[in-house]
Amino acid sequence: MADASLTAQTSDRAIVRPKLSRDDWIMRTVMVAIGVFLLIAVLLPLYTMMSKSVENKDGGFVGFANFAEYFSTPALFNSAFNSLSISILATLIILVVTFIYGYALTRTCMPFKWFFKLVAMVPLLTPSLLGGISLIYWFGNQGVLKDLLFGEKIYGPIGITMGSSYWVFPHALMIVITALSITDARLYEAAEALRTSKLKTFLTVTIPGCKYGLISAGFVVFTLVFTDFGVPKVIGGNYNMLATDIYKQVIGQQNFQMGAVVSVVLLVPAIIAFSVDRIVQRKQVALLSARAVPYTPKPSRGRDMSMLAFCSVIALIIIAMIGMAQYAALVTFWPYNLEFSLNNYDFDVMDGGGWEAFWNSIEMALYTAFFGTIIVFTGAYLMEKGRGFTVGRSAFHMVAMAPLAVPGMVLGLAYIFFFNNPANPFNFIYGTMGILVVATVVHFYTVSHLTAVTALKQMDPEFESVSASLKAPFYKTFAKVTVPVCMPAVFDISIYLFLNAMTTVSAVVFLYSSDTTLASVAVLNMDDAGDVAPAAAMAMMIAYTCAAMRIVQVVLTRGIAIKTQAWRNQ
Amino acid sequence: MDSAARSFLKIENLVKKFGDFTALQDISLDVYDGEFVCFLGPSGCGKTTLLRAIAGLDIQTHGRIEQDGKDISALPPAERDFGIVFQSYALFPNLTVERNVAYGLENRKLPRAEIDVRVAELLQLVGLPDQGTKYPAQLSGGQQQRVALARAMATSPGLLLLDEPLSALDARVRVHLRTEIKDLQRRLGVTTIMVTHDQEEALTMADRIVVMNHGVIDQVGTPQEIYGSPATSFVADFIGSMNFIPGTVAAKGRVTVGDFPLDCDTTGFNEGDAITVSIRPEDINAQDMEHDDNVVDGEITHLQFMGSFYRAELGGAAFSGHDVQADFSVNLVRRKNVVLGSKLPIRLPADHIQLYPPVED
């Protein structure tokens, strides 16, 4: 028995200060270094941008004068309203469509599911600009189906809503599919045993089960559309949105202060949507039970066939979008000479950067994938598996979550303010490939980080304890066990970074120099200059590169699976 | 345990706090060289916290731990000398059994040949000499746990820590592996601490059992001591079955339960004290009534067939409304024709009665 007389002494006894091992020192130092990198690359630029928004052109502090000007200028203020209404509209459309599409893929016996899954992911391979370009060919002034709009113009809210819905579709679908996949078959068996009607089962089991997934998908779609630059730039016409306003203020009028103000106006709803989404997602986790029995749908001819019809229409739209871009790229001179030629691929004779832009993009995407994956995975590992230092580790997680809340346009502009300042010791990366890589890694950091964390959480937490007891330094276990076991996630992260680096416009549009033009920016600039067909051709080059990379990923993952993951399926 | 035995692990006044929650309250304990000690208790009692503090995985808030004469209180796990086996095995899934076992040896920069010899020896030791080239997922749970044991012992640590090593296994495998681990420990003579919530495991394997509850040690003793004379009503209740009946001390050597007097040892209590009278069901006797002390008439209110014996519940005026459980042999039930509602005298032998302060609930 514990001696009672000793209990009284415990409160004033010395607290044991754990001695840090060499491993602890290395782990903490590297994690702090990555954390500091994120601070410098996210928070400091944002801070600089926010201070610019309360300064006048000469750098003097003017309080909220710029904001007052902004809100009293209807031309500017209207875009906030436009952005909001378009985003809400697109969110509603996409939620309905993705729910039905996702339901068909997960809960029915619809044939050709593999095909519909594949087609749904196509927009991920293309810059958001491509949707806009395609719409011009379908519904524009010389469009094939122009008459379907009954005199309305595609340039404006209609086009933006359609184009946005196209490219955010796979983003929303992935979340909805995940939400619909995590269900417990026993709930449905119970409902059936209680003779519940199909409709009531749907309303009381299906909808509540994926409620949080739908809400989350809603926020993701809202944020993507709200902050997107590519679609409104190409097809917005005179209809102003916040993201295009930033571009116009900065590139068109060189009014950096107003650009900063618009950025803040864009940033606030994005942060709110982000925060609400985080709270909602935390609830989703609590719904899961480890003992759930997976649901297997039973055939039902009427339902399966109507789902097939619906999905076919959606798939047809997606194919029509990308198909038209490809067709337009190959046609010699739309709509007068419909003969096929490769004239539009002769990028070197157009403005926008030429073929060099394409090679630059590939270079940039490879750097982003390579360095980004190393930084993200190492950071997530150190955060997840470090011993003690809970304050530092939770701080790191918060910093790693921050980039998701920052729209690309805002990040790009913040980088101009921060890195273009000659007094900044990091000024040397301005105008180089380096700043493009840093901006892209940071822009897509959070999703990669979460992918890594999810993979790492599935590893036995005692691996590190065991290796410590065996006196193995952490980096050996990291290299010999953690990385090989997490190889599929590592590939996922690098491919995610690569695809986004190839297709992104928003952050890099402010940061490229004449030596570092990028393919996605070339699409934008060629479209701006009226070379719409070459823009479509370049967008298709990006799409093919991304598709090729996906194929490489599948082959590599299979190969690696056979070689290093022999333990998995035996 | 021989009192001259050397204290290998000395734990002094250990306190572990998680925020406002105190998981360990002032734990002091000596573990002797070569001994097999079990930390036993319900979940949340602090047994795993104590083990993790000893390993340095979650270092205590206050207090001192000394291993082999060296103060290790604040050392990180890598600077301590122990091998550990977890419930989840924690085998590296992408390395073969051999590479798993060799993992600790490879870090010592031993020559390859020496490592191979040692690995073969260890796999022989845990009875898996031919499984070296397989991956962990290809082995059964019991085999995986043996590999984990071999890996933990590879570097010949001075202390072996087992964190619920058998809890994830099937009942039969568990019983079999119990004997094997115990044999292995005895042969190697390694000081071992095992955490378990399974009293049978603790009783069959341990040299000494440390029973814990709510972050304190309730009792330390051999399995016989823990079972035969539990120090607290918690220990009595947690290990084996026990009847608890409220009563009062009537005089020295005598208590009353309702109106019924019972003879027993009342040392430690005063006349008039409220107490809890306890006796194990298997100690209640219905056979040889040549002793007529503590004999009481009971009526069978429930009778459960348990396979090798019957567990009877007896009511009756004597126990003032408290049913008492008693174990009767199959033979006795048949011979005396005990059925539901039978009335028969039972005897509560004085030397098997334990008294505790009243249980508050």
Span B40-49, pLDDT tens digits: 999 989 999 9
pLDDT in tens, A436-469: 999 999 999 999 999 999 899 888 889 999 999 9
- Nearest-Cα distance to chain A for B300, in Å, is 39
How far is the CA of A456 from the CAs of A279, A453, A482, B247, B297, in angstroms?
A: 22, 5, 8, 57, 65
How confident is the prediction for chain A on average, in pLDDT?
89
Q: How confident is the model at residue A310 (pLDDT cuts 50, 70, 90)?
A: very high
Supply the pLDDT for residue B360.
63
Smallest CA–CA distance from A570 into chain B, residue = B138
Name the nearest CA neighbour of B212 among A5, A11, A2: A2
CB contact under 8 A, A21 and B107: no
Which residues of B are less than 8 Å from A469 in CB distance? 55, 77-78, 80, 82-84, 104, 152, 157
Q: How confident is the model at residue B4 (pLDDT cuts 50, 70, 90)?
A: low
Smallest CA–CA distance from B93 into chain A, residue = A567
Distance separating alpha carbons of residues B75 and B58, to the nearest angstrom: 11
- Nearest-Cα distance to chain A for B90, in Å, is 6
Mean pLDDT of A393-415: 92
Which residues of B are less than 8 Å from A467 in CB distance? 103
Q: Pick one of 3.40.50.2300, 1.10.3720.10, 1.10.1200.10, 1.10.3210.10 as the CATH number of A21-50+355-516.
A: 1.10.3720.10
Which residues of A are less than 8 Å from B151 in CB distance? 466, 470
How confident is the prediction for chain B on average, in pLDDT?
91
pLDDT in tens, A521-537: 999 999 988 889 999 99
Mean pLDDT of A504-532: 91
The sign of the CA dihedral B122, B123, B129, B130 is negative
Supply the pLDDT for residue A286.
53
Which residues of A are less than 8 Å from B86 in CB distance? 460, 462, 465-466
The sign of the CA dihedral A557, A559, A564, A568 is positive
How many beta-carbon pairs below 8 A join chains A and B? 134
Count of C-beta atoms within a 10 Å radius of residue B111: 8
Distance separating alpha carbons of residues A407 and A412, to the nearest angstrom: 9
- Nearest-Cα distance to chain A for B194, in Å, is 16
Supply the pLDDT for residue A6.
45
CB contact under 8 A, A18 and B59: yes
CB contact under 8 A, A10 and B62: yes
CB contact under 8 A, A472 and B94: no
Q: Distance between alpha carbon B348 and the CA centroid of its chain, in Å?
A: 27
CATH architecture of A53-336: Orthogonal Bundle (1.10)
Mean pLDDT of B302-309: 91
CB contact under 8 A, A2 and B217: yes
Sketch the domain layout of chain A as residue ranges: 21-50+355-516, 53-336
Pairing verdict, β B295-305 and B309-315 = antiparallel
Contacts 24+ apart (CB under 8 A), B237-241: B238/B40, B238/B41, B238/B42, B238/B199, B238/B211, B238/B213, B239/B40, B239/B199, B239/B203, B239/B211, B240/B199, B240/B280, B241/B280, B241/B281, B241/B325
Supply the pLDDT for residue A360.
95
Supply the pLDDT for residue A2.
42
Supply the pLDDT for residue B288.
66
CB contact under 8 A, A567 and B61: no
CB contact under 8 A, A1 and B231: yes
Q: How confident is the model at residue A10 (pLDDT cuts 50, 70, 90)?
A: very low
Distance separating alpha carbons of residues A482 and A474, to the nearest angstrom: 10
Which residues of B are less than 8 Å from A10 in CB distance? 13, 15, 25-26, 62
Q: How far apart are the first and last CA of chain B?
A: 36
Contacts 24+ apart (CB under 8 A), B234-240: B235/B211, B236/B278, B236/B354, B236/B356, B238/B40, B238/B41, B238/B42, B238/B199, B238/B211, B238/B213, B239/B40, B239/B199, B239/B203, B239/B211, B240/B199, B240/B280
The sign of the CA dihedral A263, A264, A265, A267 is positive
Which residues of A are less than 8 Å from B92 in CB distance? 463, 477, 480-481
- Nearest-Cα distance to chain B for A304, in Å, is 39
Higher pLDDT, A209 or B144: B144
Flag whether pLDDT at A64 surpasses 90.
Answer: no
- Nearest-Cα distance to chain B for A177, in Å, is 29
CB contact under 8 A, A2 and B154: no
Please report which residue ranges of chain B form alpha helices under DSSP H.
Answer: 47-55, 97-106, 112-125, 141-153, 171-188, 199-205, 223-228, 233-238, 330-335
Lowest mean pLDDT among A335-344, A400-409, A486-495, B126-135: A335-344
Q: How confident is the model at residue A298 (pLDDT cuts 50, 70, 90)?
A: confident
Interface predicted TM-score (ipTM): 0.85
How far is the CA of A380 from the CAs of A457, B104, B153, in angstroms?
A: 10, 26, 32
Smallest CA–CA distance from A11 into chain B, residue = B62
Flag whether pLDDT at B200 surpasses 70.
Answer: yes
Selected for mutation to probe chain B from A567, A568, A569, A570 (highest B CB count within 10 Å) is: A567
Smallest CA–CA distance from B105 into chain A, residue = A470
CB contact under 8 A, A467 and B103: yes
Q: What is the pTM of this model?
A: 0.88
pLDDT in tens, A550-565: 999 888 888 877 765 5
- Nearest-Cα distance to chain A for B276, in Å, is 20
Name the nearest CA neighbour of A144 among A331, A306, A296: A331
Supply the pLDDT for residue A144.
84
At residue B335, the 3 state secondary structure works out as: helix
Question: At which residue do the structure tokens 């276990």 appear?
Answer: A477
Domains A21-50+355-516 and A53-336 share a fold: yes
Smallest CA–CA distance from B85 into chain A, residue = A466
Distance separating alpha carbons of residues A399 and A46, to the nearest angstrom: 13
Supply the pLDDT for residue A210.
84
Q: Which of B80, B90, B217 sits opposite A462 (nearest CB)?
A: B90
pLDDT in tens, A92-113: 999 999 999 999 999 999 999 9
pLDDT in tens, A21-60: 999 999 999 999 999 999 999 999 999 999 999 988 888 8
CB contact under 8 A, A465 and B90: yes
Supply the pLDDT for residue B355.
92
Which residues of A are less than 8 Å from B79 in CB distance? 19, 21
